[in-house]
């Protein structure tokens, strides 16, 4: 806890209430995104760590509310109430909510975050109302409207302010396209239980696969080919995002390299599992993840 208090000091977070808020969000992020949290703590400068944690926590909290909100439901659903609270906070700069309060403080320190919060909120209804994609075009629209703005909540804090905007968008989009496609494969069973499907219906049809095949985890030639094709595309997009480290300050490059490499390792683990991903969660092996983090920590030191 002493090390975390020093991190808060480095970031200039002195208010007892804010220190409590950031600490609370730190515990939550460490609980549900362990690899990401360790990478944040090990590889980013302390001055930035609490702010990145706050952005990740805000994104996760919003995403969770979107998952629990009724599809095409009444305006009184929990997500709508949250969105109204966030917009009030953006207007007044104040909030009593422990997730929103640190984000507003981070926006004061990093004003570029405000635009990305607004864009994220604008695209959020697409995630709330989504039950599936007719084709690849539908999927790409979802990535543009929701996935990319969500990723930019964190990316905007670590990118170089003078980086080429076109290259930033291209590289960030490659990363999130691969990461989102990978997530949809890894979450197939859970999503189908909730009536959602992250793979385009047209792609399923091309392989002779039905939703029921995926829901029941049927190990057929079509299912294997579908998963291999989808995961290979995700991996290609992740590899294509490896220019991102050149678009951030040198102090942030180890974190970005690790972030991308861990996601590629997840794709490799999913490819190796094939149809078993329909039954079990997928993540890099702990030794492999630790090797990545240790290597980048040593590179950061140099």
The pLDDT value given to residue 75 = 46
Phi, psi of 54 (to 5 degrees): -65, -40
* Alpha helix positions (H), the chain: 2-10, 16-32, 34-43, 49-68, 78-92, 100-109, 112-129, 136-142, 148-158, 165-186, 188-193, 201-206, 211-215, 221-240, 253-273, 286-301
The pLDDT value given to residue 283 = 85
130-302 has which fold? Farnesyl Diphosphate Synthase (1.10.600)
The pLDDT value given to residue 183 = 95
The pLDDT value given to residue 97 = 97
Per-residue pLDDT in tens (0 to 9) along the chain, 302 residues = 789 999 999 999 999 999 999 999 999 999 987 888 999 999 999 999 999 999 999 999 999 999 876 554 554 589 999 999 999 999 999 999 999 999 999 999 999 999 999 999 999 999 988 899 999 999 999 999 999 999 999 999 999 999 999 999 999 999 999 999 999 999 998 899 888 999 999 999 999 999 999 999 999 999 999 999 999 999 999 999 999 999 999 999 999 999 999 999 999 999 999 999 998 888 888 899 999 999 999 988 65
- Which residue has 């997840």 as its token pair? 266
Residues of the chain with CATH 1.10.600.10: 1-110, 130-302
Going through the chain in order, the beta strands assigned E by DSSP cover: none
The pLDDT value given to residue 300 = 83
The pLDDT value given to residue 70 = 59
CA 66, CA 160: separation in Å to the nearest integer?
A: 31
| DSSP 3-state of 266 | helix
Asked whether the beta carbons of 187 and 130 are under 8 A apart, the reply is no
CA 254, CA 30: separation in Å to the nearest integer?
A: 19
* First-last CA distance in the chain: 27
CATH number of the domain located at residue range(s) 1-110 in this protein? 1.10.600.10
């Amino acid at each position: 806890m002493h090390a975390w208090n020093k991190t808060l000091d480095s970031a200039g977070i002195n208010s007892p209430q804010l220190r409590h808020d950031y600490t609370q969000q730190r515990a939550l992020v460490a609980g549900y995104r362990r690899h990401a949290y360790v990478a944040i703590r090990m590889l980013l400068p302390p001055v930035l760590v609490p702010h990145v944690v706050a952005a990740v926590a805000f994104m996760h909290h919003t995403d969770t509310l979107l998952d629990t909100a009724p599809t095409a439901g009444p305006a009184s659903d929990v997500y709508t109430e949250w969105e109204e609270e966030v917009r009030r906070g953006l207007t007044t700069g104040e909030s009593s909510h422990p997730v929103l309060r640190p984000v507003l403080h981070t926006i004061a320190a990093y004003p570029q975050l405000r635009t990305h919060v607004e864009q994220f909120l604008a695209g959020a209804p697409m995630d709330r109302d989504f039950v599936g994609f007719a084709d690849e075009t539908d999927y790409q629209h979802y990535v543009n409207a929701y996935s990319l703005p969500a990723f930019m909540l964190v990316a905007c804090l670590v990118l170089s302010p003078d980086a080429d905007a076109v290259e930033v968008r291209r590289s960030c989009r490659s990363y999130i396209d691969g990461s989102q496609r990978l997530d949809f494969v890894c979450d197939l069973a859970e999503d189908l239980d909730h009536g959602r499907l992250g793979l385009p219906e047209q792609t399923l049809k091309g392989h002779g696969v039905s939703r029921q095949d995926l829901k029941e985890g049927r190990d057929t030639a079509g299912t294997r080919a579908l998963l291999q094709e989808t995961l290979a595309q995700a991996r290609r997009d992740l590899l294509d995002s490896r220019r991102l480290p050149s678009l951030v300050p040198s102090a942030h490059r180890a974190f970005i390299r690790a972030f991308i490499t861990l996601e590629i390792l997840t794709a490799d683990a999913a490819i190796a599992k094939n149809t078993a991903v329909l039954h079990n969660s997928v993540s890099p092996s702990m030794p492999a993840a630790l090797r990545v983090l240790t290597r980048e920590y040593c590179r950061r030191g140099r």
